[in-house]
Chains A and B, each alone.
Chain A
Amino acid sequence: METVNGNQDRSEEKERTAEAFKAFLLKNNPKNNQNLYDHLTQLLIKVMDERPQNVLDVFEDLSRDVKRGLFEQKQNTLRDLPQTTAAELLAEQQRQLFSCTEEADQEDELVDTPFPNVSEIGFYLEQAGVGLGRMEMQRVFLAIQQLIKSEALQHCRLWGKILGTQSSYIVAEAEYKEGEEEEEEQSIEDTAVGETGEAGAQENEEDPLPQSSFKPPPVVPKEAIGTGANKCVYYVCSEAGLPWVKLPSVTPAQITIARQIRKFFTGKLDNPIDSYPPFPGNEANYLRAQIARISAGTQVSPRGFFQAGEEEGDEEDEAPRDSYEVNLDFECIPVAEMVESLSSWVHHVQHILQQGRCTWVNLAVKPEEETHDDDEEEEEEEEGALTEVGPPLLTPLTQDAGLFNTPPWSSKISSALTRQHAVAVLRSNLWPGAYAYACGKKFGNFYVGWGLKYTGKGFSPSVPPLPQKEYPSGPEITEALDPTLEEEQAEKEALEEQQAEQESLEESDEEEEEDD
């Protein structure tokens, strides 16, 4: 009997401990009125419902989810503050790209459209291993279509993309249309007037500053719109769908300075360029200068695709030709040959000379001034020594010079497996990011990169010149020792003696006069 009683006691004791523990688990947390018992129940229900694999691994996460679920049901009395994100704003802008206009349905316009075949270019670029991604490409091409419509451009193509530290530039290239030159020239005149006004204000100042004897070297004149480095006009936008901005035309000074500096683009067109030598202009000008340099260096086409334009009369034999036209009899060069020899590629953009222009201009000759015979002779000599002549248009790439023991171009075939339908791809090593492709009668150029030239192992920025001497050193400005007291007194005595002598002389003079 004792054992039975003992067993009963033990089981009662067990039950009591279990109840006590359950009571402990059911003890509410005074802060949020919850207990572990309910939590575990909910958790196990959740596990039963969801049946995740390897429950033990994610048990903590499940527990947290359950706890979090308790808070979510509470009603929030705060008003919802709608925040527009950048993506939403951009989506609103890009929405316009996808609006279909009714005018496009007319077939006559479609035949004559200047808009390039988008999907074809995208396809070839992808074969070459470059591009912005299929969806992005589509968006960019739609944006270019919008640009063509809004600006009524003649020829427009996607030039490329220049990466920046804060945002990037998508660049479209177009040809100048007639009548645009006048507008630009007018704006230039306006700025010129502004400069003279400032000069006038300086003259009016009462105490003019000392004039510097430094004469700036003559400014190389800008190339006329539609020729040389300003042959094309460029539009940029930071993201497809955002408004296009037209870049200003480039000056030779900007090109020469751009060659000496090395800066990242920031993505803001009005950003000043902090550099030495100082760059004349802001980031828009710098961008334009780099685009001109890249275009001149890397825009290539298969040999024979373009032929020299027929010039009006042969009087301009010496001047480098700057026009070409599409050769209608062009026979396509086989892809294998395009890959193997650089001689089957030619430049179709003029080389930019050291001067920063495509056609050399003689700065020594000033048409307004009548010069003496001797001077003219000297000038002729100088001219002979200094004249720069770049390679003519449509020069094959084999004549390109390499830098730092690096060949200027690398070529490859896009596919090793299906060679018969492959694309010939040319990659510039001097301008990393510049590509050209050719396949049959199609070819294209594309640039995507940071807009910087290859500099070999390192780039050393030019050092500012030594400070100039302010004045020629002379007795007026050299510092001397102050005289001592004795010296001053001696000087004073000497002066007094002089005065005394003079007085005596004058007296004698007077006496003489009296004698007369």
Chain B
Amino acid sequence: MESNSLFYSLEFVAGSGDTLNIEQRTALQTSFVIMKKNYKFNRVLFWGKIRCLNGDYFIAQGRGEDEMKDKMNLYSFNCMDWFLLPPATDSMMEEVSRAAGGFFTGDPSFVYEHVEIRQRADGDEEEEVVTKVKEESRLAVTVHQIDEEVSVVPRGAFVRSLHGLVQVNRSFGGLSHSEAAKLDNFLHFRKPKNLKKKSIMEFGDLTPALDFMDVLSDDVPKGSWSLQFESAGTTCVLRSLLWLGLTFYHVPMTPQHGYVYIGDGTKNLNLPFML
């Protein structure tokens, strides 16, 4: 969610129940300016909040030249002092998925331990494998996963140049009301993973500069998104049922859009039972 328009954009996603109080908003406004200067970001986004047993993590995201690749995540407890999150690597993700679970504790140095007893291939000897993960890495992995799996942009909001640079589309005027009611017009903001081969009829309407990302309507399982019109029917609001807490908004016919995650940082693995 763009930091410059944080005040009124938070109103659009408030239908999910979580907001920031006035103290946090004012603190963010000040600290984002400082952060942008210190880290030399092109723009700063308020990414969201992860609820913990004690306190909350506030997450901000700085974007560089390339909107998709040049991302940096930072976290804070008081909306004022920001700490850089390490980039999530594959080995880190594996360790976190094995060891960590449940609520976040609110202490970045907290260590999750997981003991697994494995049998060696050559004999009956048993080996204890201990995985230790710091909560800071878990936070980095969670933020990365949420960005990978459920970050959303409307179609046309970003363009990819011939050199592969992804940037904000300056002439994006927003989806129309009827377009905003369809999941086909919302894209995953990540490198395409399963860009479906389209038939030649469908392909006619697509532009390689705009349609370089996966479409939400191709997500599995079907129905992992809830699309509603809120704020007296004027704003299109998308909620992910896979990561409960992710809310995306777009005001049709205007370029305003954004997403925020306010939740406990756990994936809803029970989704198939719940639909």
- B19, A85: Cβ atoms closer than 8 Å: no
A457 interface residue (CB < 8 Å to B) = yes
Interchain CB contact under 8 A, B19 and A57: no
Closest to B247 in A: A163
Contact A129 B18 (CB under 8 A): yes
Contacting pair A433 B17 (CB below 8 A): yes
Closest CB-CB distance, B96 to chain A, in whole Å? Answer: 13
Q: What are the residues of chain A within 8 A of B15 when measuring CB–CB?
A: 132-133, 136, 161, 168
Say if the beta carbon of B200 comes within 8 Å of chain A.
no
User: Which residue of chain B has the shortest Cβ distance to A414 in the bound complex?
Assistant: B21
Given contacts A129-B21, A131-B14, A406-B102, contact A412 B232 (CB under 8 A): no
> Assuming the A-B contacts A58-B170, A134-B11, are A459 and B270 also in contact, with contact meaning beta carbons closer than 8 angstroms in the complex?
yes
A131-B19, A136-B15 are known contacts. Are A86 and B229 too (CB-CB below 8 A)? yes
Q: A127-B21, A165-B223, A429-B103 are in contact. Are A91 and B232 (CB under 8 A)?
A: yes
Which among A58, A129, A135, A429 has the greatest number of chain B C-beta atoms within 10 A? A129
What residues of chain A lie closer than 8 Å to B17, measured between beta carbons?
130-132, 161, 163, 433, 448-449
With the chains together, A57 CA to B170 CA distance in Å? 10
- Name which residue of chain B comes closest to A409, CB basis: B53
Contact A459:B23 (CB < 8 A) given known A85-B233, A131-B14: no
Using A131-B14, A132-B17, A135-B11 as known contacts, say yes or no to A416 and B78 having CB atoms under 8 A apart.
yes
Residues of B218-275 at the interface with A, using a CB-CB cut-off of 8 Å, are 223, 226, 228-234, 239, 241, 244, 264, 269-270, 273-275
Please tell me if A506 contacts chain B, counting CB pairs below 8 Å.
no
Q: In the complex the two chains form, what is the Cα distance from A263 to B18 in whole Å?
A: 22
Give bound CA distance, A133 to B20, whole Å. 10
Please name all residues of chain B whose beta carbon is closer than 8 Å to the beta carbon of A494 when the two chains form the complex. Answer: none
Query: Are B231 and A164 within 8 A (Cβ)?
Result: no
A324 in the interface (beta carbon within 8 A): no
Main secondary structure of the interface of B (DSSP, over half): loop
Confirm or deny: B171 has a beta carbon within 8 angstroms of a beta carbon on chain A.
yes
Residues from 74 to 115 in A contacting B, C-beta threshold 8 Å: 85-91, 94
User: Count of A residues near B, CB < 8 Å?
Assistant: 58
A166 to B230, CA, bound (A): 11
Chain A, 147-168, CB within 8 A of any chain B CB: 161, 163-168
CA A412 – CA B55 in complex, angstroms? Answer: 7
Q: For A131, what are the chain B residues with a Cβ–Cβ distance below 8 Å?
A: 14, 17, 19
Q: Which residues of A sit under 8 angstroms from B78, Cβ to Cβ? A: 416
Cβ < 8 Å to B, chain A residues 443-474: 448-450, 452, 455-459, 461
Q: Tell yes or no: B101 within 8 A of A by CB.
A: yes
Contacts of A126 in B (CB 8 A): 19, 21-22
Task: Return chain A residues, CB-CB under 8 Å to B103.
Answer: 406, 429
B54 adjacent to chain A (CB < 8 Å): yes
Most buried by B among A94, A133, A429, A433: A133
In the complex, A432→B269 CA distance in Å?
A: 16
Any B CB within 8 A of the CB of A39: no
Decide if A357 is an interface residue (CB 8 Å cutoff).
no
Q: How far is the CA of A432 from the CA of B234 in the complex (A)?
A: 28
Q: Within 8 Å CB of A161, what residues of B? A: 15, 17
Of B18, B53, B233, the contact of A407 (CB 8 Å cutoff):
B53
Chain B positions within 8 Å of A410 at CB level: 51-54
The 3 closest A-B pairs by CB, nearest first: A448-B17, A87-B233, A133-B14
- What are 8 A-B contacts defined by CB distance under 8 Å? A58-B171, A87-B234, A91-B232, A127-B21, A133-B10, A165-B226, A415-B21, A448-B17
> Which A residues have a C-beta under 8 Å from some C-beta of B?
57-58, 61, 85-91, 94, 126-136, 139, 161, 163-168, 262-264, 404-407, 410, 412, 414-418, 427, 429, 432-433, 448-450, 452, 455-459, 461
